[in-house]
Amino acid sequence: MKKWPMELHKHCVELFRTSPELETIMNLNDSSDFHEPQTTKDLYLHSSIRSLDPRIADEFFEKANIQDSFSTVVQTLEGFVSDDSKLWNIPNLFIPSSWVHARQLIRFTEKNANFMVGDYRDDVSQDLNAFLKHWLNSDNTNLETLIVRGSCSSMEELFDGIQTSRWNPEKRRATYVSNAPFQTIWEYRFGQGCRFLNLPSFWPNELDCSDAFDIVRESDGLIASVKVDISAFFMFVWHSRFS
């Protein structure tokens, strides 16, 4: 029975010659709909009550080819996804639960990500410093925005060995324009069930980079603005500086 939705979708695509793009809502601990490799444009993960073994997530992403975005709100894991997980290949990730460790951030080389890492009591300044250095020495031109929810208490450790500068209005605009596709998320509210919730990808004050620190990648001159605000790290890459 659980295979029917996927089979019906496949049949309709073939019959009516429509776009095969598919948006999926599902529960990770009941992923039998993905009995074989399946391509979907966006996937919204329904939350289960209990935490799951991260190997279940790794196995799921081996079968799910998610082309645009993956989001979950409160689904928790008993550990972290693996360094080799196909999760890292998804262009846009919204995971405000501890699915990843801060040291794994260098695995993400796609467009937009919103992560919570580890425990809020764990300071991740050194891991974020390693990520910034990795980006500065890479040829990654995909990254647009990165949010990391975690304790970053030491600006000295965050920028250790990294040259920074304050905002120069001749080099970029003050406010970043985001294309992150997280305006719609799937949420669960006790007593109300599940529903789609429309929210801005960023609040206006988060996109204000007039007080951010800028770093410049020497290989291509790409500028990124970095700011820390209330246990959240923000990184905005300026692919377009004035438009």
Q: How far apart are CA 156 and CA 135, in angstroms?
A: 18
Averaged confidence pLDDT in the chain = 81
Token duo for residue 54: 């991260």
- Do the strands 193-198 and 213-216 form a parallel or antiparallel pair, or are they unpaired? unpaired
Where along the chain do its domains lie?
Answer: 4-238
Token duo for residue 228: 């820390």
| pLDDT tens figures, 18-58 | 455 555 555 665 555 556 677 888 887 776 667 888 998 89
Q: Give backbone dihedrals phi and psi of 44, rounded to 5 degrees, phi first.
A: -105, 120
| pLDDT tens figures, 116-152 | 886 656 789 999 999 999 999 999 999 999 999 888 8
Its sign, for the CA torsion 55, 61, 62, 63, is positive
| pLDDT tens figures, 95-123 | 888 899 999 999 999 999 999 886 656 78
Measured between its terminal Cα atoms, the distance across the chain in Å is: 50
Share of the chain above pLDDT 90, in %: 46
- Do the strands 92-100 and 64-72 form a parallel or antiparallel pair, or are they unpaired? parallel
pLDDT computed for residue 102 by the predictor? 92
62 pLDDT above the threshold of 70: yes
Q: How far apart are CA 133 and CA 83, in angstroms?
A: 19
Token duo for residue 62: 């081996």
**Kind and range of the H or E element at 59?**
helix 54-63
- CB-CB contact of 127 with 103 (8 Å): yes
pLDDT computed for residue 212 by the predictor? 96
